[in-house]
């Protein structure tokens, strides 16, 4: 399988700009990223790369006075994944109660909730604001005996945390096979038995029993398209946390959710990223 390597240069560089860039260019087919001193390197299967889409996205980069350029080259097979696994990620602490780290991290000060994640190329280690904000919300919720849906699970970190916090069961899915495999690996690393993960999109929710809580950390357009499917597996009193979008997207998502019978409860913001909490009436 042939891959292209895109070396993105962010000027001026910031961690927030890098996070936004990663979320943005995923729409052009890029599926894995490695941090560099000046930006990030992204990797994409040769046949899936849409350069015109990427160029258009970069022309409208949402941070004022930040310029993003890139160099394109062929990558040797598997180098993109090996480099990511070699570099890994730094341990992440959420609200001084959750510790997320890789199996290679040792001698860390303990936390109330300890989660081991071997991320490979899947999204979701807690380093991104959207993942962190959802975890902060979950810390304040009673998940005891709740059934949870983790839509677009990535590494499975959100669902795994729910099991640690007392959820009765978690059912997760992702459209990418490598995310499904990665979630299964991370479930084993954390000794999780009451979680199931399958490959697919929101259409596989048809005929499923209702969940007490739905988590969806995706992007705005997919959320808008999938909201009817989510609502179809919510009962009266079910709640849903959405993230993966910008603050300016809140009105559009609230309007769509309310048109489907959901009640807006509140939202949180961090560095222009947002989460939304809804409940079915």
- CA distance from start to end of the chain: 48
As annotated, the binding site includes 131, 152, 174, 217
What count of residues does the chain have? 281
Q: Is 147 helix (H, G, I), strand (E, B) or coil?
A: strand
Rounded Cα gap, residues 72 and 70, in angstroms:
7
Q: Quick one: which of 62, 56, 55, 6 has its CA closest to 30?
A: 6
Q: Which run of H or E residues covers position 68?
A: strand 67-75
| Residue list for the binding site for S-adenosyl-L-methionine | 131, 152, 174, 217
Burial class (CB in 10 A: 0-12, 13-18, 19+), 80: buried
Six-digit token string for 117 = 């994640």
């Amino acid at each position: 399988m042939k891959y292209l390597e895109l070396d993105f240069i962010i000027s001026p560089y910031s961690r927030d700009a890098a996070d936004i860039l990663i979320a943005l260019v995923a729409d052009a087919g890029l599926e894995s990223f490695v941090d560099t001193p000046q930006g990030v390197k992204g990797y994409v299967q040769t046949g899936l790369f849409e350069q015109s889409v990427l160029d258009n996205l970069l022309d409208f980069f949402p941070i004022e006075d930040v310029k993003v350029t890139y160099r394109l080259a062929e990558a040797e097979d598997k180098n993109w994944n090996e480099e990511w696994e070699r570099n890994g990620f730094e341990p992440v602490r959420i609200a001084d109660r959750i510790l997320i780290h890789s199996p290679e991290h040792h001698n860390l000060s303990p936390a109330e909730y300890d989660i081991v994640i071997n991320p490979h190329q899947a999204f979701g280690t807690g380093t991104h604001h959207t993942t962190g904000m959802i975890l902060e919300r979950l810390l304040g919720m009673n998940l005891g005996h709740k059934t949870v849906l983790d839509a677009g699970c990535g590494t499975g970190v959100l669902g795994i945390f729910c099991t640690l916090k007392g959820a009765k069961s978690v059912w997760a899915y992702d459209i990418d096979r490598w995310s499904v495999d990665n979630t299964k690996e991370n479930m084993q690393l954390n000794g999780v038995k009451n979680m199931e993960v399958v490959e697919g999109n929101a259409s596989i929710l048809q005929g499923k029993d209702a969940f007490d809580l739905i988590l969806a950390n995706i992007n705005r357009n997919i959320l808008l398209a999938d909201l009817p499917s989510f609502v179809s597996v919510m009962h009266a009193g079910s709640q849903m946390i959405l993230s993966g979008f910008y603050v300016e997207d809140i009105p559009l998502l609230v309007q769509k959710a309310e048109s489907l019978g959901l009640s807006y409860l509140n939202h949180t913001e961090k560095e222009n990223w947002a989460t939304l909490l809804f409940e079915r009436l």
